[in-house]
Amino acid sequence: MPYKRDSICAPEQAQYTHPSVHIQVSHNATSSLTAKNMATSQLFHTSFTDPSLPVLNFPGLYIPQSVWVPAAGPRDWERMHTIRFTQNGRQGINLGDAYRRNFNGMPDGQVIPCTSTTSQRVAIRINWPGYEPWHKHVNVANNSEHINKARLAYEVAKEVHRFYSEMGHNRGQERDWRVEVVPFEQLVLIELRHVGTGSWQPVLARAMS
């Protein structure tokens, strides 16, 4: 159901920038993933670089997700600001905490970010290495009121957990990135990036400490 954005829906200060093609992989990860996709100029979600923002402690290694694009190819759309998460002074929020609705250490959990101006539902898209592109729709507004950042983190954590449950029966093509190798409890939600109309992609990392 379409609705009009109200003044409570305040955009983030940081804007989305085109992601770098350079990806961080574990020392044990296969080099074929990087070489294959670099050869085809496929873009990956990596760090958010904005000199106006403070540099926080990074929790680990990025999950090398390719940037989602529509099947018909890239299209123009009104791009919304990237939604960034922090917890206890570090980049990102642990997905296990978010899934259990434990938002201790999240300073801006009550902030209401903009996720849509036309719909109460958006698609959360995951392009996990070695698996087919995956998505589910989540509610981002209740009775025309946007959900806050803490609730949004929970919704993303719930869908990543669902992805893990569904993919647990499939052997991913990239051995070092199979879901059984990367524990859900080690995942950190760094950002949500607006990748298309009604579509958001979580930037995830694996905590190494």
pLDDT one-digit tens code per residue, 52-98: 444 456 657 889 998 888 877 666 778 889 999 999 988 899 999 99
State pLDDT tens for residues 131-175.
999 999 999 988 778 999 999 999 999 999 999 999 988 888 999
Please count the other Cβ atoms lying within 10 Å of the Cβ belonging to residue 79.
Answer: 13
Partner residues linked to 91 by β-bridges: 86
Two structure tokens written together for 6: 């109200």
How do the domains of the chain map onto residue ranges? 31-207
- Please give the C-alpha separations between residue 193 and each of 142, 184, 201, in angstroms, as whole numbers: 22, 20, 5
* Among the listed residues 183, 191, 186, the one whose alpha carbon sits nearest the alpha carbon of residue 59: 186
Q: Which of the four pLDDT bands, split at 50, 70 and 90, describes residue 32?
A: very low
| Residue 28 predicted with pLDDT over 50 | no
> Considering the entire predicted model, what is its pTM?
0.77
Are 205 and 63 contacting, i.e. CB atoms less than 8 angstroms apart? Answer: yes
What is the pLDDT, as a whole number, of residue 137?
A: 97
CA 23/CA 108 separation, integer angstroms:
28
